[in-house]
Every structure is written in structure tokens, then in C-alpha cells.
A and B are shown apart, each in its own frame.
Chain A
Amino acid sequence: MHNDTDRSKMFSRRAMFLGGAKATLIGALAARMYYLQVMEADKYAMLAEDNRISIRLLAPPRGLILDRNGVAMAVNQHNYRVMVVAERSPSLDYTLDGLARIITIGDGERSRIHKEVRRRRSFVPVIVRENLTWEEVARIEVNASDLPGVVIDVGQSRHYPLESLGAHILGYVSAVSESDLTDDPLEELPGFRIGKGGVERIYDMALRGRHGTSSVEVNAVGRVIRELERREGEPGIDLNLTLDVRLQEYAAQRLGDESAAVVVMDIHTGAVLVLASTPSFDPNSFNRGLTVEEWKELSTDSRSPLSNKAIAGQFAPGSTFKMLTALAALEGRDITPEMRVFCPGHMQLGSIKFHCWKKEGHGAQDLISGIKNSCDVYFYEIARRTGFEKIAEMARRFGLGVPTGIDLPNEKSGLMPDKAWKRKALKQPWYPGETLVNAIGQGYVTATPLQLATMTARIANGGYAVVPHVARDPIVDKVVRPRGAPDWPGVGVSRQSLALIRKGMFGVSNEPGGTAYKARITQEGMWLSGKTGTAQVRRITMRERETGVKKNDQLPWKERDHALFVAYAPDHNPRYSIAVVVEHGGGGSAVAAPIARDIMIEVQKRDLARVAGNAGSGEPPPPSDLRRF
């Protein structure tokens, strides 16, 4: 019989046996460790070197651009493209030859690809062709094994569904050029487009969004083995504009083939509803890439379709400037509203005769009738009394001679001359006659249509220095800031003076004999008050005056007058201002005023419809499913 002692002995024996077995196994572990970490160490160190992580950028979708009613103006579309990664191809030409059997690759294309490959780091894919058809994609995929380094990728491309409508405001996107490079890594992405021109450029950073990254593990030959980590980027911010696409469309149609510009803005908030410049262009063509012929056509057209005339066209304001001359004289107490000036059709200053546009003269004119009839002699006289320094100073307060500060690139400042400017720019003193010429918006004075609309807005809103804008909510540091109630500073002009000016402008449009009476609005509650302007672009010689001044239709297009009209409506409780400039269009009252009338009717109709439609509930939210297409 085994007792406990025997059991203990047996236990010890067996424990020795098992312990020995375990010690052997531990020895095996140590041996294995030696094998892996000493004998094979070099091989594994090399393999470890081949294990590489490659970080790829993920492009976020670009923010949409919508009009004030949520109509999409700029959207994103799928774009299949074929790219080549130089470091994965044994020979770039071999790969391109293979590709050329499926899609056509021109010689120019080929040298561009070579150039880009040299410019970029060898693992950055370079685009061979974009906008592939599905069939082409399929054929490339099928032949993938014969095409080393070829990558098919689906990207997004910008699309402007309204084509040329609003193109100047939107701008366009195009490939990043060397000078555009910032340190945003997105710019390294093949086919990445940045905003060039318009709000696409001004709000580019916000529209871009922030890049995401995807860490992929690649093996020694660069093939992606798996995705290790994916950090999604932030999509770009959607941009809501103050623009009303339907009004914009109406305005563009109304301008037709003219080389012209129209700006309509809210006089209280500065929101720009219409900012049209004709002729226009299709921004989609820039994204596709222009052909040489297309580019030639666009850039040499005398009516300059690429330029946004509403903010960059600088025109002599002509008689639309007269309100500022009058305000300077009134505020300077150099005249009283009742003071009369007799107009015989001209005014003599020294040896020079300054003509009124009406050869036979207006007779006695006071402030109100001077504006209503746009009598040049009346304004010559008050300008002579006031001096141009005061007029220029007043004009600047109303936004002339300086950029308005609208959120669009390449805005021009126009020119508000004075003695100091002339001495500096032309090295000449200011002559008294120049005061008269510039006081009626001729001579050196130039302004953009946007500045004229802003000037009119400041007259109509009671003298507040409203600043125009096109983004409904401005984006600062990539954050959308809701636009609060605007609190514009005053321009420092008395309400009485402004009321007198507005009375004169009312006469222009609504009293028989006013220069724009024929182009008045007859619908009750929509009446506009305005001011015509006709800016000469050529000098009328003495001999021509004697033989009779040529009519515009007798002249070549380039020598015809600019037709201008500024206005606000409704006259009793102003809300909108408008400026119309038709380049070489002829007379302000005959050409520009009817355009302004028609657009202002449309604007106010839309306004009434909006008020009736959703009583003060604000703008409808933009549709949410627009992002992808």
C-alpha cells in the first residue's frame, strides 16, 4: 500500500520529469530567439526596411456656391482620370506607349507629363488624362498588368451649371501654378484646382476645406497592401451669395450683346443682388482647359468678356457725378437751393467756352431743375464757386476714387483727381477749366459701376457709408460669420441736402421734361428716382461744333458715348440702388435708363413675391443633396 510519503516521492519524480520537459521547451524558445534575432537578423532588418508607410492625402469636396435662394451656381462632379506614378514605372515612355494604345496621348501631352514628373517628387501621381469615359476606364483596368505605374482615380471636378451666368462673380478654378503655392499640402494633389478669380478665389481657403489623410502600407514595389488609418478631412464650406440668379439672368438678357455692366444692391445692407458684366464667358471651359483658339478669342475680344466691368471697368461717370458736385456746394454753403443760374447754352471761362449739352440753353435753373434737366452750365457755375477740392473730397465720402471693399478680387478704384494728384501724376498745376469739366463727370474722373451703385445707395439711405458684398455670410478664418445688422458710419452730410438731391433725382425720372421721364416706372409703389449720364469718350473739336456735332450712330463703336444711369427705388422708401453702364452705348436717357427701369421693375417684383411667399421667414435653406453633383 502506498502511503502519503510514497505519493510524495512519486510526485517529486514526475515533477522532475515535467519540469525537465518545460525546461527543454524554454530552451527551445531561447534557441528560436537566437535563430531569429542573431542568425537571421540581417534578413529581417532588411525586410523591416522594406516595410513602409505611405501617407496619402484625401481631397475634401469643395464647398458649393449657392445664390440667395439656394440655387446651385458651382457644384462638384465625378471625374475619372488616369494618372501615372513615375517611381512605379520602369520606364515612363514604356508606360505611356501602353496607355496610348487605349487613349490618345498627343506629343504636347507627353512632354507636359515628362515635365510634371520632373517637377514633382517621384511618388506623386501625375495626371495623364482627365474626364475619361467609363469605357476607357474599363479598358485601362483590364490591361492594368501591362501598364506599370498607371493609376485610375476618381476625383471631383468643378462644374458651373449656369455656365456664363454670374461667371465674373464666381470666377473659376484651375490648376495650381508655381506662384499660387502656399503650404497647404492639398496643392500637391494631382489635379487639385484652386480658385482663380471671383469668390472662388476670395473664399478659396474656406471652399477648399481641410485635407484628410490615409496611411497605407506599401511593400517594397510600392503596391498598397492595406489602409492602416484614415482621417477624413473637412469638406469645404458652402458659400451662400447675396446674388439672385433669376435677376442676374434677367439683367444679362436685358443687356444683350452690349458691352455693359449692371449692379443692383440693397442700400441698407450692401447685399449685391445683381452684378452683371456682358459679354460673359463659360467658366467650365477654364476647368476643362482652354484651347489656344478659345483663349485668343476671349482675350482679344474688344468687348473684353474676361473682365468684370462691374468692378473693374473704369468709366467717366458723366452727369451721374453731378449729385456730388451739388452736395459739395450745398454742404460748403457756397450756394442755396433757391439760387438761380441762367443757362444760355454755354459758359465762358477766360478765353474758353464751355458748352451745355443743350445747345439752345435751359434758361434760369435752380438746384432741383438743374439736376432734373442735367444742366451743365448750372453745375459749371456752382463748381466754379465751390472749387474742385471740396467736390473731390465729397466724392470720396460717397465711395469714389477708392475701392468699395467688396469681397471680390481685382476691384479697381477709379480715379478721383485733385490738385495733389495732378501735380504728382502729370507734373502740372490744376487749371480752373478742369474744375468745370470734372464737375460734370468728364475729364479725369472715372468710377466703376459698383462705385456708382454704392454712391447712389449712400444718397438714398440717408448718408450711411454702406459697403457692398456678395457673400451672404462672410467667412473669416474659415469660419462662417453670420452677417449682423449693418451699422454703417455716416458720411457726414446733412439730411436736408440729401433730401434736396433726391428731390432733383425724383424730377429726373418722374416729372415731364426730366431727362429720364420716358424711362419712368409707372407701377404704383415701384417708382424710381435716378440720374442719367452720357460720357464723352472723344474730344469734340471747334470745327465739329460749328458744322454740327455728330450723332452717335454716325460714329464708329469705339468713339460712341458711354451711356450711364444710376437710380434707387422705390422713391418714397428706397431699398435698392442700381447702376447701369453701357460702354459706347450712346445716351444715358435713351439707352441706360430703360435698362435700369426694366431691371428695377423685376427686382421689386421679386421682392414683393418673396414677401408674399414666405412672410418674413427668411431665405429658404439650400437643398442638401447638391454636394455630389
Chain B
Amino acid sequence: MLRPMPRMPSRLNRTEMSLRDKIWQINWSLIAVLTAIAGVGFATLYSAAQGSLEPWALKQIVRFAVGIGVMITVALIDLRFWMRNAYILYAIAMVLLIAVEVKGTIGMGAQRWISLGFIQLQPSEIMKIALILSLARYFHGASWQEVGRPLFLIVPLLMVFAPALLVLKQPDLGTALMLVMSSGALFFMAGVRVWKFVVVIGATLAALPVAWQFLREYQKKRVLTFLNPETDPLGAGYHITQSKIALGSGGMFGKGYMMGTQSRLNFLPEKQTDFIFTMFAEEWGMMGGLVLLGLYALLLAFGYAIAMRCRNQFGRLVAHGVTTIFFLYFFINTAMVMGMLPVVGVPLPLISYGGTAMLSLLFGWGLVMSAYIHRDVPISRRGISDE
């Protein structure tokens, strides 16, 4: 079945592209925005270490460089390759998740890492990408009618909840919620009927009191403290109170680079990881914060443009899924440090110090870029070219 392809330039045959063609298609402005955001991270890590590349900034720069390399490699690989191997990647991520459950390194009270010797692997990060790929592949092959059938949704729901429950058990509430929410967005984009969402959200709200029983003590405390931080300003509410003080005292224009007193005097906990936004906003003020939000919004816009521009469902879903995950990262993190959400361990994407998150995010953006490069490649239901 041949269809008109109005947007396709006639000089290119997008079905089979040469490597040279692909390189020409790399979206450099996307990379520039990513680099700008990461650059904010380097500068803030440099400041967090009292004006030193050690111990954070330099490592982060190296990781970013490696990550960009990975991203471009991923982008140049045929999108159909990723589609074909989506389930395999998902299986690997599942095995790793179970492995940390069985024999993981205990870090910060939660089993999140697995040590491969040279790198501390965080399987939940891999799962975020693998889950998007698998769901995208699953829904790519589905017709409108199929998506409408409730039974058809059982398999993808299992794909979501199996890893989500494992991550929740680590315990990592933040990542579990992110898995569920990003998948929800993907279900929505795939065309699942709106009334089903209404039912699920309603049921979830009804089930909240039950779920409350299963939360860990410290998680309950965080939620309670979030609801009323003044009750315990020196205990569980400490982080939020200090974060708000640091951020608020930054004012409109900030205290100046390397002059954030609160972060510098160690009032701010985890200033190089989860609370890095606070430190940035203390030193650069609301203006700096808005610029950073603007950069993130720009990145989201890129993601959306690529998703909408894509001519195959798989690419659309992948681009949208990665964008959503990215949004969730920075929204949860910034909302948390500003006291709008309870404290959950979610880093600020591309800025917080940490290796796996950086790599998995850039891997994700590599997939988005791949969707962009292969935007006009039609993919059949089984993952083979239509022509």
C-alpha cells in the first residue's frame, strides 16, 4: 500500500539511509541545548566543591562527554534495530532488577546499585528506557480496535507493574512512580480510551489509604512532613526547610556565583545531587532558575516536535516517552526542593552528580534523535519496512 509522503524530500530515500545521510541529519541544536543544561550542572558542581573541579565537576564532564558519544551512536543506529530488540532489552533490565533484589549493594538504605566492577549499575534507570521501548513496540503493532479492547491492555500493564513493584520494593518510591506515570502517558498517547484513565485514577485515589499501609516508615514521615513541614523542622522536615531558606534567600538575582552561604555552610544537604537546584537558585536567584526552566522547556519542545514530526508510531511513542520521563525528572526534583512535593530521591536531569542517570538520559535522547533521523522511515506492524 503506497501512500503519499508529502514531507519527504525527494532527494532522500529514507527507507535505507547511508551513515553519511544519517550524520547529516543529526540535530545539533538539540545537542546544544543538552550541553547548555549540562554546563549549568558543571558550573554548579564546581561551586558546590568550593571552587574546585574535584571531586564532582570533572567526573561529571567526563561522563557527559561519554554520554554524548553514546547518544550519537544510539541515534545513528537504525530505529528498527531498537524496535526489534526492545523486548530483549526489557528482559535484560528485568534480570538486572531481580539481581539487585537478590544481591545488590546497599547504598543510602536502598538496594539500587549493582556493581559491575568498573561501573555502579542502577538497573532501574535502564528499565525506564527499556520500558518505553517495549511499550512503544507493543503499541506500534496495535490497531485502533485492538487498543480499545481491555484484554489487549493486560500484557502492557504487566510490563509496567512487574518492574514498578520490584523498584518499589528496593525501596525507591520516586522511580516506581516515574515508571508508572511515564507509562501512563504512553498508554494515553497510544490511544487508550480516556474513560479508562478516569476509572484507573479514581480507583487509585480510592486505594490510597490501603497503599499507605505498605509505605515504609520514613516514606510515610516524608509525606506527612510534606503536608505539614513545620511540625518537624529539625527532623524529617529539615531538608525542605533548609532548601526553602537557601532558595528563598537567593532572591530575584541570587547571591552570586560561588557565594551561596547556605549551601556553602553545609546547611543544605546533598547539595551536589538531589538539592543541586536549590544551590543553583540560591546563587543565581529567580532569574537563573527561570533560565534553567526555560532550557528544560526548550528541550521538551524539541522532544514534542520530533514526536509529532515522526511518521511511524514507534518513533512517536519513543520520542514522547523519553520526553515525558525527562519532564518527570526535572518536575519532581524542582517541585520537591521548592516544597511542592514530598522528598523523593529523584535527581535533576543532566545536572545532579551521578553517572547512571546521566548515561540513561542521554541514551534516551539518543533514541529520540534516532526517531528524528529515521522520522520518515515507515515501519510495518511487525517492525519491517512497509515497502
Contacts and interface: CB of A to CB of B under 8 A. Distances in A.
Contacts of B281: 33, 37
B248 A43 contact: yes
| Residue from A26, A40, A53, A217 having most chain B Cβ neighbours under 10 A | A26
B245 interface: yes
A379 B272 CA distance: 88
B237 interface: no
Given A22-B327, A44-B249, A6 B144 contact: yes
Interface SS of chain A: helix
Contacts of A14: 188-189, 191
A215 B265 CA distance: 10
B159 interface: no
Interface string A21-55: 01101101110111011101101110110010100
B122 interface: no
B308 A53 contact: no
B137 interface: no
Interface string A1-24: 110111110111011001100110
B289 A2 contact: no
A225 interface: yes
Contacts of B304: 15, 19
Contacts of A109: none
Contacts of B144: 1-2, 6-7
Contacts of B239: none
B331 interface: yes
B47 interface: no
B245 A18 contact: no
Contacts of A290: none
A5 B5 CA distance: 11
Contacts of A228: 266
Given A15-B320, A26-B293, A37 B313 contact: no
B143 interface: yes
B297 A23 contact: yes
Given A18-B185, A225-B234, A29 B251 contact: no
B143 A44 contact: no
Given A11-B316, A14-B188, A51 B245 contact: yes
Given A4-B313, A44-B248, A48-B249, A18 B188 contact: yes
Nearest to A228: B266
A33 B338 contact: yes
A141 interface: no
A119 B367 CA distance: 70
Interface in B225-266: 234, 242, 244-252, 261-262, 265-266
Interface in A202-228: 215, 217, 225-226, 228
B293 A29 contact: yes
Contacts of A53: 265-266
A48 B241 CA distance: 11
A10 B245 CA distance: 45
9 contacts: A7-B191, A7-B313, A11-B308, A19-B304, A28-B335, A37-B285, A37-B289, A43-B248, A45-B251
Interface of A: 1-2, 4-8, 10-12, 14-15, 18-19, 22-23, 25-26, 28-30, 32-34, 36-38, 40-41, 43-45, 47-48, 51, 53, 215, 217, 225-226, 228-229
